[in-house]
Amino acid sequence: MDNKYKKLILKGGFVCDPFQKINQISDIVIIDGKITEISNLFKDDTKISNDFKIIDVKGMIVMPGLVDLHTHLRDPGYEWKEDIYSGSLAAAKGGFTTICAMPNTSPVPDSAPVVRDFFNKSKNSIIRTLPFGSITKGRLGKSLSPMYELQEAGVVGFSDDGDTLMDSNIMRQALLYSIDTGLPIINHAEDIVIKNNGVMNSGLVADRLGLKGTLPSSEYLMVKRDIDLAFETGGIIHIPHISTEQTVSYIFQAKDAGLKFSSEVTPHHLTMTEEWVYGESGIDPEFLSEKSYDTNAKVNPPLRSHNDVSALIQGINEGIIDTIATDHAPHSLSDKECSFDEAAPGINNIETAFSQLYELVKDKKISLEKLVSALSVNPSRILNKEPFGSLHLNKPAELTIFDPNTSWVVNEKNLLSKSSNTPLKGKLLNGKIVLTIFKGRIVYDEL
Amino acid sequence: MNLIDDKEESRRGRKVNHLLDVDSLSLNSVNTIINSSKKAKSILLSKNKTLSLKGKTIVSIFFENSTRTRVSFEQAGKILGADVINVNVPSSSISKGESILNTVKTIQSIGMDSLIVRHNHSGVPYFIARNVNVPVINAGDGMHAHPTQSLLDIFTIKTEIGDIKNKKILIIGDVKHSRVARSNINLLVRLGAKITVAAPTTLLPDSWIGINKKDFKIISHYKKMESNLSDTDLIMLLRVQKERQDQGSLPNLEEYSKLWGLTKYRYDTLSPNTFIMHPGPVNEGVEVASELLNHKNSLIDKQVENGVAVRMAVLEFCIS
């Protein structure tokens, strides 16, 4: 199917739109790319005029195009891992219609020309691709990037990505700037001094594998510092990829005390534990096999314990954590085919994210509405623009459809990303995104 | 002859007989290796050679410096009639930026029947085992495991002291960073030894701090260690790495030696039958007083000697 259908009906799907608080089985009429009706009118197909294309989506979930606040597109500088185009294909396959590119590229987007190049290249993107600028020049943590210049060039926020801004004074200045730009500051939430070159979660698994552990305090201390600085300055802060129980409970306290900030958690931290490093789908084996030391399960912050996973799920359920962001991090084989210590951190997950997360809905740990909110309305609000990915009437359709009744095996052949560094490689996933529409155009289609 | 018992093979579900750590060896296999080590030792003492691995090529690749382990493997292979190739890594292509994988695959294409690996990063032998089709023998990986050291320690205890069940063993030192301790604790616990681990808290693994392990006891204060010394059959010492000082885990080696070292004074208060082991190389005067190294109860030289016999048994176990 392509875009030749001027008139389209998505029939019988369960529509979940947190923007408009729709949660029911409905038919969606799309004419010339715009949604003209969401209703239950078409019980009888014969009453629909012949020029409509009808797609039966019974048993499937129709939701707004998903919004990702944390994507690595590796473009410019590392295009063998991913580029803006391949990243956009992967995102559309994952149900995303808006992605925000992290600035760990070469060159770093710390001046307007680099951002303009990004927008030029983004013309190839099949979805909405937005850039973050770097907080500091060259992401070196020494002096601020020209934030106004970057804002005028179109960045949607600032981050030094995986390099923590350790200098509290510069962080404070960045937060003061954010009051004027109105754009969020996203600082990698790991104190690198206490992290002390840790490569996985500190605990029994690390000690058994003889790998250096990263303590929960490395995250907690940095999150606490940043929230305190944001409170003191009144700056705008977004906390990336929360991974520990301690951080969830600190965020709860801070929000309870009326502090204003937002935060995110990744699909892998919500669904996987440190045991995945054993290489046996999260099972704690009686003895280590050659599957152990799975470098595809190496990520910053690291996969944590079962308790942490439960706390993060609770954080989403109770609205303590606002959003789910992928931290999609494509890496080539050679970045991962090495010792665990040397392996590049990061998981390629934008295509598998919704299938992974839907398991939590099936297990009744998270409601569908909460899940979709954390992937659409909430991140859209943090970007502070018009709603991205909504099902509003008379607007170009921007939606995605998930079929929970199908399954697929993850492998390098069916991933659209240029890389396939996921611990889910070879694993069966339940449920699949089957259709994505961006600005009225079908950008991913398996129906 | 298939030396792996059926249960073990079905558990492992693989055809290639690696030795990555002792945790995947069943106690039957451990016994098999210990028994063939006895035979190997008699061959060794008779100064004869065998031809059991004649025509086999064993490559040993050490990404980390080692004298005793490398020489021990080389000697073991040669006595069994195998051709042993030592790849000298610092002078090889690795230093030109070639990856571990490329190096190993190149060696595999040239031809080998087994690969002995040492690396300063934990898990490298596992990564290599995923990528080659010959048995990989771990000669020490980072902080993780040192299975042949553990097997030779078990063999030494069995032949010099006796049955391991219910033996009271005190392990003193940097267990946090010690691959020898990790492998030994795994195997000794399974063989029924009563283990106590003594180390300053900074040198304990993070997950052991403040908890009591169900399989063994942990002591983190030197005075408590002293009061436990007298009730010990064997003291296994661990090497203290000087770099721990730079990492802030130790104020200095003098303090370590004062609080945790096996001094002559401490040793003399013990039962006269307390044995001493150390995987080497020893920091004389730090972990143990120099004069105790040649004590009649010191098994340190025996460990080195047994190393060759046990590695002969391991090579036969993995390759034939």
| Contact status of A211 with chain B (Cβ, < 8 Å) | yes
Q: What percent of chain B has a predicted confidence (pLDDT) above 90? A: 77
Chain B's closest residue to A202, CA to CA, is B206
Question: What are B266-270's contacts with CB under 8 Å, separation 24+?
Answer: B266/B226, B266/B229, B267/B292, B267/B295, B269/B229, B269/B230, B270/B229, B270/B230, B270/B232
Answer yes or no: do B145 and A341 touch at CB < 8 A. Answer: no
Answer yes or no: do A293 and B100 touch at CB < 8 A. Answer: no
Q: Which pLDDT value is given to residue A44?
A: 63
Cα dihedral A60/A65/A66/A69 (nearest 10): 170
Q: Report all structural domains of chain B as residue ranges with CATH numbers, in order of start.
A: 6-145+304-319 (3.40.50.1370), 147-303 (3.40.50.1370)
pTM, full prediction: 0.94
Interface test with A, best of B30, B64, B121 (most A CBs within 10 A): B121
Q: Which of B99, B123, B127 sits opposite A209 (nearest CB)?
A: B123
CB-CB neighbors (< 8 A) of B129 in chain A: 290
CB-CB neighbors (< 8 A) of A295 in chain B: 127
Q: Which pLDDT value is given to residue B1?
A: 34
Determine how many CB atoms are found less than 10 A away from the CB of residue B305.
15
Answer yes or no: do B20 and A290 touch at CB < 8 A. Answer: yes
| Contact status of B182 with chain A (Cβ, < 8 Å) | yes
Taking the alpha carbons at both ends of chain B, their separation in whole angstroms is: 7
How many cross-chain Cβ pairs, A to B, lie less than 8 Å apart?
86
Answer yes or no: do B127 and A338 touch at CB < 8 A. Answer: yes
Residue A327 or B65, more confident: A327
Q: Which pLDDT value is given to residue A43?
A: 64
Q: What is the spatial distance between Cα B29 and Cα B33, in angstroms, rounded to a whole number?
A: 6
Answer yes or no: do B206 and A213 touch at CB < 8 A. Answer: yes
Q: Which residues pair with A28 in a beta bridge?
A: A10, A38
Answer yes or no: do B206 and A287 touch at CB < 8 A. Answer: no
Average pLDDT for B105-113? 91
Q: Which of A210, A289, A334 sits opposite B144 (nearest CB)?
A: A210
| Contact status of A293 with chain B (Cβ, < 8 Å) | yes
Which residues 6+ apart lie within 8 Å of A138 measured at CB?
A108, A110
**Neighbour-count burial for A114-150, b at 16+ CB within 10 Å, e otherwise:** bbebbeebbeebbbbbbbbbbbbeebebeebbebeeb
Report how far apart, in Å, the C-alpha atoms of A174 and of each of A108, A131, A182 are. Answer: 17, 18, 11
Point out the residues of A that are catalytic.
327
> For each of chain A's 447 residues, which pLDDT tens digit applies?
456 578 999 999 999 999 999 999 999 999 999 999 998 766 666 667 778 899 999 999 999 999 999 999 999 999 999 999 999 999 999 999 999 999 999 999 999 999 999 999 999 999 999 999 999 999 999 999 999 999 999 999 999 999 999 999 999 999 999 999 999 999 999 999 999 999 999 999 999 999 999 999 999 999 999 999 999 999 999 999 999 999 999 999 999 999 999 999 999 999 999 999 999 999 999 999 999 999 999 999 999 999 999 999 999 999 999 999 999 999 999 999 999 999 999 999 999 999 999 999 999 999 999 999 999 999 999 997 778 998 999 999 999 999 999 999 999 999 999 999 999 999 999 999 999 999 999 999 999
To the nearest whole angstrom, how far is the Cα of B97 from the nearest Cα of chain A?
12
Here the ipTM equals 0.93
CB-CB neighbors (< 8 A) of B24 in chain A: 287-289
Q: Which pLDDT value is given to residue B98?
A: 73
Answer yes or no: do A339 and B206 touch at CB < 8 A. Answer: no
Q: What is the spatial distance between Cα A197 and Cα B313, in angstroms, rounded to a whole number?
A: 38
Count CA atoms within 13 Å of residue B215 on its CB side: 11
Interface test with B, best of A200, A290, A294 (most B CBs within 10 A): A290
Chain A's closest residue to B25, CA to CA, is A287
Residue A234, Ramachandran bin (φ over 0: left; ψ between -120 and 50: alpha; else beta)? left
Chain A's closest residue to B126, CA to CA, is A290
Average pLDDT for B69-76? 96
Residue B3's pLDDT band (cuts 50, 70, 90): very low
Residue B14's pLDDT band (cuts 50, 70, 90): low
Give the total residue count for chain A: 447
Count CA atoms within 13 Å of residue B129 on its CB side: 28
Q: What is the spatial distance between Cα A129 and Cα B156, in angstroms, rounded to a whole number?
A: 65
CB-CB neighbors (< 8 A) of A338 in chain B: 99-101, 127
- H or E segment at B295? none
Residue B30's pLDDT band (cuts 50, 70, 90): very high
| Contact status of B205 with chain A (Cβ, < 8 Å) | yes
Answer yes or no: do B24 and A337 touch at CB < 8 A. Answer: no
Q: Report all structural domains of chain A as residue ranges with CATH numbers, in order of start.
A: 7-62+395-445 (2.30.40.10), 64-383 (3.20.20.140)
Assign B184 to helix, strand or coil: helix
| Contact status of B208 with chain A (Cβ, < 8 Å) | yes
Q: Which of B122, B235, B222 is nearest to B168 (CA)?
A: B235
Answer yes or no: do B99 and A337 touch at CB < 8 A. Answer: yes
For B:138-167, CB contacts with A below 8 A are 141-145
Answer yes or no: do A292 and B179 touch at CB < 8 A. Answer: no
Q: Which residues pair with B168 in a beta bridge?
A: B194
Q: Which of A425, B211, B149 is nearest to B219 (CA)?
A: B211
**pLDDT tens profile A104-113:** 999 999 999 9
Answer yes or no: do B101 and A338 touch at CB < 8 A. Answer: yes
Helices and strands in chain B, H and E counts? 12, 9
**pLDDT tens profile B222-238:** 999 999 898 899 999 99
| Contact status of A32 with chain B (Cβ, < 8 Å) | no
* 3-state helix/strand/coil string of A375-443: HCHHHHHHCCCCCCCCCCCCCECCEEEEEEEEEEECCCCCCCCCCCCCCCCCCEEEEEEEEEEECCEEE
Q: Which of A140, A68, A75 is nearest to A330 (CA)?
A: A75
CB-CB neighbors (< 8 A) of B126 in chain A: 288-293
Q: Which residues pair with B235 in a beta bridge?
A: B170, B276
